[in-house]
Amino acid sequence: MPDDPRLRALLAAAVPFSLPLRRRFRGIDVREGVLVSGPSGWGEFAPFEDYSDAAAARWLDCAIEAAFGQWPQPVRDRVEVNAIIPAVGADDAAVLTRAAVSDTGCRVVKVKVGDADLAADEARVATVRDVLDTLLGRGRGAIRVDANGAWSEDAAATALRRLQSYGLEYVEQPCRTAEETARLRRRVDVLIAVDELVRHADDPRTVRLREVADLAILKAAPLGGVAACLRLADALDVPVAVSGSLDSSVGLDAGIALAAALDDLPFACGLGTGALLAADVVDAPRLAEGGTLAAGRTAPDLPALLAARDRLTDERAAWWRVRLAAAWQAGSRERMGHLVEA
């Protein structure tokens, strides 16, 4: 039993969960994490397994802020979101894009790229463009691509020269390093957004991007919460866009709160990931309507939450509690622990 009464209170309010995905996404087919309840509502702690304890502490900050703190006053009630197409074949990409437009009203689609086979990437992007043009009218739907740093500078230049003919809004994290990304930016006529370069920085507020990228992607959970991201948006020297972290419907609330509070929101948000979940902590995954999601707080539905909890083995649930405690010890007790009442 932890000595810190605040950590004991946090663990007492924690419900580990497991959510199956409709299809494999970025190497996983199950999304796991912990929901935490507090006087303000529910928060989500769900760092991916490759995150260090120090990095996971930021995710815990976000969960504690959601459950025990307050979010800034929104300046908009709804935020536009993009649909997402995983690294699937062209036929599946067509089905998913049609569903995104018809069922959720999304007009912006993010396509995962970076396969070793550039032809497969191009076929996926070309298919998405064809479906968008067919359903919305030529050029009326937007495409952005995300390589997650998979390309070298030369590979990225080659790929983008082929893919930009399909009308790219921007490319997200084409290369792993800032140096490669900066050189690439001088070689291609495509807006460049960076994600990992911000998320993985020791202090994201010190990152200087003006010579590297055209915009930065902010994700509430891995960057420490809504207030931390708003401070970061003010500190960065490029515009920002908002994205999510394959969150549950409860976890999505923090990203939507961030997007709703930003003074300037020129790009659709990467928060349309509910369509990737086969089950959620609510009765139905939170999906866009008319291409937008409403700001607000979501409480889990008890039957769905219990089902999500029961998908975990006892060993796996215990692992998540240990991980939460390790994240607390790595930093959150100093940054956000004052909010937690024993």
Active site members:
112, 219
CA distance 340 to 102: 43
For residue 235, count other CB atoms closer than 10 A to its CB. 13
Pairing of strands 292-294, 240-243: unpaired
CA distance 186 to 248: 38
Nearest 5°: CA angle at 324, between 318 and 329?
Answer: 125
User: How far is the first Cα of the chain from the last one, in angstroms, to the nearest whole number?
Assistant: 14
**Concatenated DSSP letters of 59-121:** HHHHHHHHHHS-PPPPS-SEEEB-EEE-S--HHHHHHHHHHHHHHH---EEEEE---S-HHHH
Which tokens is 267 given? 């790009």
Which tokens is 146 given? 């995300």
CA dihedral 172, 22, 37, 309 (to 10 degrees): -140
CA distance 106 to 144: 13
The answer to whether the CB of 293 falls within 8 A of the CB of 254 is: no
SS3 assignment for 272-310: CHHHHECCCCCCCCCCCECCEEECCCCCCCHHHHHHHHH
User: By C-alpha distance, which of 66, 67, 109, 82 is closest to 257?
Assistant: 66
Which tokens is 148 given? 């997650």
